[in-house]
Amino acid sequence: MTLTDALLVCADAVVVALLVRGGAAKIVAPALGAAAAGELRPGRGPVPAAVIRALAVVEIAVAVAMALPSLRGPAHVPMAALGLLFAGAGILGLLRGSTEPCGCFGADSTRPLGAGNVLMGVAVLAAAVSGLWVHGVDPSRTDSASAGVAGLGAIVTGGWLLYSHRKHVHTVVGNLIKQPESAA
């Protein structure tokens, strides 16, 4: 594996973690995203929850496709579209003065649509374009890098979850290592 391939695997793994985490949060609690997206269309109210859940299904499907060797190349196309969507929503959020937390990167995300979404969207788009530039969309390409994307994506997702719930992790780990008091 070349250095370029290793960097692409790392970038794809981070995007997989982002898409899985954000997609799962949108499926479980679409109201945050619906309210935030509603701010992008003044006077119309929240976007229907079904639309937010459909977006979540697409995010998760793209993440899963990134782990399958024959779909990794073609999956960069919808990944690029998601990057554009995220960046565009962030730009509209900035222009419209979004105040509703979007929950875009997980339910614990309390920031409104804005600069973070623009940066994340541009990063997702850059990862997708890089993958397309280097490898194209050849579905016959079956390298071992997809297994690396899946494994590293799982590690990044787990690390992200542990970090975002670090207070709870600290409590659980503390309780596990405490010595039981003797009854004598």
End-to-end CA distance of the chain, in Å?
A: 60
The answer to whether residue 12 scores a pLDDT higher than 70 is yes
Tokens describing residue 63? 């993440």
Model pTM score: 0.78
Which amino acid, one-letter code, is at 135? Answer: H
Q: Which of 86-90, 145-149, 180-184 has the lowest mean pLDDT?
A: 180-184
What pLDDT is stored for residue 71 in this prediction? Answer: 84
Q: Under a CB-based contact definition with an 8 Å cutoff, are residues 79 and 73 in contact?
A: no
The answer to whether residue 69 scores a pLDDT higher than 60 is yes
Q: Span 99-103, mean pLDDT?
A: 87
The answer to whether residue 140 scores a pLDDT higher than 70 is no
Q: What percent of the chain has pLDDT over 90?
A: 36
Q: Under a CB-based contact definition with an 8 Å cutoff, are residues 14 and 127 in contact?
A: yes
Tokens describing residue 174? 């503390």
Model confidence over 143-163: pLDDT tens digits? 656 656 666 667 777 776 667
DSSP string, the chain: --HHHHHHHHHHHHHHHHHHHHHHHHHH-HHHHHHHHHTTSTTS-SPPHHHHHHHHHHHHHHHHHHTSHHHHHHHHHHHHHHHHHHHHHHHHHHHHT--SB--TT-TT--PBSSHHHHHHHHHHHHHHHHHHHHHTT-TT---THHHHHHHHHHHHHHHHHHHHTHHHHHHHHHHHHSPPPP--
- Among candidates 56, 78, 62, 69, which has minimal Cα distance to 148? 69
Q: Span 114-127, mean pLDDT?
A: 93
The span from the CA of 64 to the CA of 141, in Å, is 17
The answer to whether residue 44 scores a pLDDT higher than 80 is yes
